[in-house]
Amino acid sequence: MKVDVLLGLQWGDEGKGKIVDVLTPQYDIIARFQGGPNAGHTLEFDGIKHVLHIIPSGIFHSEKINIIGNGVLIEPVIFEKEITGLQRLGVSPTQNLKISNKSHLILPTHRLLDAAYEAAKGKAKVGSTLKGIGPTYTDKTARLGLRVGDTLTDSFEAKYHNLKTSHIRILDTYGFDWQEYLIDNMPFAEYEKKWLEAIRLLPSFDIIDSEYYLNDALKSGKKILAEGAQGSLLDIDFGSYPFVTSSNTVCAGVCSGLGIAPSKIGKVYGIFKAYCTRVGSGPFPTELIDADGEKLRTEGREFGSTTGRPRRCGWLDLPILKYSIMLNGVTDLIMMKADVLNSFETINICTEYAIEETVTEKIPYDLDAVEIQPLYEKIKGWNGNLNGITSYNNLPEAMKKYISTIEQMVEIPITMVSIGPDRTETIVK
Indicate which of Mg ion, ligand GDP, ligand IMO, none lies near residue 420 (CB less than 5 to 8 Å, by partner kind). Answer: ligand GDP
Tell whether residue 42 is a contact of ligand GDP (CB under 6 A). yes
Sign of CA dihedral 295, 300, 303, 304: negative
| 332 neighbors 410 (Cβ within 8 angstroms) | no
For ligand GDP, the binding residues in 305-364 under the rule CB under 6 A are 305, 336-337, 339-340
Q: Which stretch binds ligand IMO (CB under 6 A): 71-79, 81-89, 130-138, 372-380?
A: 130-138
CB of 195 to ligand GDP, least distance (A): 25
Question: Which of 357, 389, 380 has its CA nearest to residue 370?
Answer: 357
Binding mask 87-126 for ligand IMO (x = CB under 6 A): ---------------------------------------x
Q: Which is nearer to ligand IMO, 56 or 134 (CB)?
A: 134
Q: Any contact of residue 129 with ligand IMO (CB under 6 A)?
A: yes
Per rule CB under 6 A, is residue 418 in the interface with ligand GDP? Answer: yes
Q: What is the distance between the terminal CA atoms of the chain, rounded to a whole angstrom?
A: 24
Q: What single string gives the DSSP state of each residue in 94-130?
A: HHHEEEETTPEEPPHHHHHHHHHHHHHHGGG-----S
Our finding on whether 114 is near ligand GDP (CB under 6 A) is: no
State how far the Cα of 182 lies from the Cα of 421, in Å rounded to an integer: 33
Phi, psi of 373 (to 5 degrees): -110, 105
Residues in 33-92 at the binding interface with ligand IMO, rule: CB under 6 A? 35, 38-41
CA distance 172 to 180: 13
CA distances (Å), origin 211, targets 67, 95, 102, 143, 383: 10, 20, 10, 20, 49
Per CB under 6 A, which region of 38-46, 83-91, 388-396, 398-406 contacts ligand GDP? 38-46
Q: Is 307 in the site for Mg ion (CB under 5 A)?
A: no
The answer to whether residue 15 forms part of the interface with ligand GDP (CB under 6 A) is yes
Active-site annotation, residues: 13, 41
Q: Which residues bind ligand IMO (CB under 6 A)?
A: 8, 11-13, 35, 38-41, 126-129, 131, 133-134, 229-231, 234, 245, 279-280, 305
